[in-house]
Amino acid sequence: MKRRVGILGGTFDPIHQGHLDLAQAAERTLALTEMLVLPSNIPPHRAQPVASSCHRFAMVALAIVGRRGWRVSDLELASAEGPSFTSATLDRLARAGYAATELFFLTGADAFAEIESWRDFPAILDRAHFVVVSRPGAPVSALAGRLPALAVRMRRVDTGGAAEPAESGQTSIFLIDAETADVSATAIRQAAASGRPISGLVPELVERYLEQHQLYAALAHAPTAAGRLHGQN
C-alpha cells in the first residue's frame, strides 16, 4: 500500500472532538495509512497557548490512545523557538524523506479560507496535498467562490468511500463535506475554568487530565493573565 500520511497540526489547547472528527473524516475518505498529530510551538496567527507545550503534548497523546496508525509528534515543539509555520514543517518532513504526494495536510474550511495569508503561499500548496474539511458555519462548498484562483486545484470527495489522488504527481486540494463537532478550544477553556461540564467535548482521558492538573482553573481568577500560564510545569 502506498504511504499516505495525514498531518494534523494545531495548538491543541486542548485537543477536542472537532479536531478528531476532522481527522477521522480525512482518514476514512482518503484511506490514510498514518496520522501525525503535531502540537504547535507558537501559532503564527493567534495568541500564545494557555497550557504549556508539555501539557498539550500529553493531552494529544491521551486523545489518540488506541487509534491505529496515529502518533503524536514533537516536530514543531522541538524544532524552533518561534512561530510554527506550516511551510517550515512541510520542509522538514521533505528533508526526512517524505514526498509531497505522500503528505496530506489537514485543515478546517474556516482556516483554509485564509490560505492566501499563510507564509510561502502559493508555493506551500506544492509541498503536500491539502485536505479541507467543513466546519460549523464554514462549508467547503464556499471555498471555490472565496478562492477562485485555486478552484482548478480543488477536488470534492465523498466520505462514502476512499478517494484516489490523481496520478499526475501533482498535489491537490481535497474538499470533504463532513459533520464535525461544533466546539472550540476557547469554549472548553472557559467551561473548565468555571466548573461547567466538558464531557463529550474532549476525549474522556483528556477530560480526566484537565481535572487532575486544573490547567485552566486560573482563568476563572485572572482571565487577562492567561498568557502567564504558558510556562506552567
pLDDT for res 79: 74
In the chain, the domains with their CATH numbers are 5-176 (3.40.50.620)
pLDDT for res 225: 38
Q: In whole angstroms, what is the distance from residue 151 CA to residue 171 CA?
A: 13
User: For the segment 58-69, what is each residue's pLDDT rounded down to a tens digit?
Assistant: 999 999 999 999
Residue 12: pLDDT over 90: yes
Residue 162: pLDDT over 70: no
Q: In whole angstroms, what is the distance from residue 191 CA to residue 195 CA?
A: 6
Which letter, b or e, does each residue of 185-223 get, where b requires 16 or more Cβ atoms within 10 Å of its Cβ?
A: beebbbbbbeeeebeebbbebbbebbeeeebbebbeeee
95 burial (CB, 10 Å; 0-12 / 13-18 / 19+) is: exposed
Q: Per mean pLDDT, which range of 31-35, 84-88, 121-125, 159-163 is the poorest?
A: 159-163
Could you tell me if residue 214 is left (phi over 0), alpha (psi between -120 and 50 degrees) or otherwise beta?
Answer: left
Q: Of residues 231 and 165, which shows the higher confidence score?
A: 165
- The grid cell for 78 is 522541538
pLDDT for res 80: 61
Q: What separation in angstroms does the CA of 75 have from each of 6, 71, 80, 199, 208? A: 14, 12, 9, 30, 26
pLDDT for res 233: 31
Share of the chain above pLDDT 90, in %: 78
pLDDT for res 6: 98
Q: In whole angstroms, what is the distance from residue 86 CA to residue 229 CA?
A: 25
Q: What is the average per-residue pLDDT within 100-104?
A: 97
Q: Identify the band that residue 4 occupies on the pLDDT scale cut at 50, 70 and 90.
A: very high
Q: In whole angstroms, what is the distance from residue 11 CA to residue 23 CA?
A: 15
Q: Of residues 167 and 11, which shows the higher confidence score?
A: 11
Q: Identify the band that residue 161 occupies on the pLDDT scale cut at 50, 70 and 90.
A: low
pLDDT for res 223: 40
Residue 189: pLDDT over 90: yes
pLDDT for res 194: 92
Instruction: Report the chain's mean pLDDT, rounded to a whole number.
Output: 89
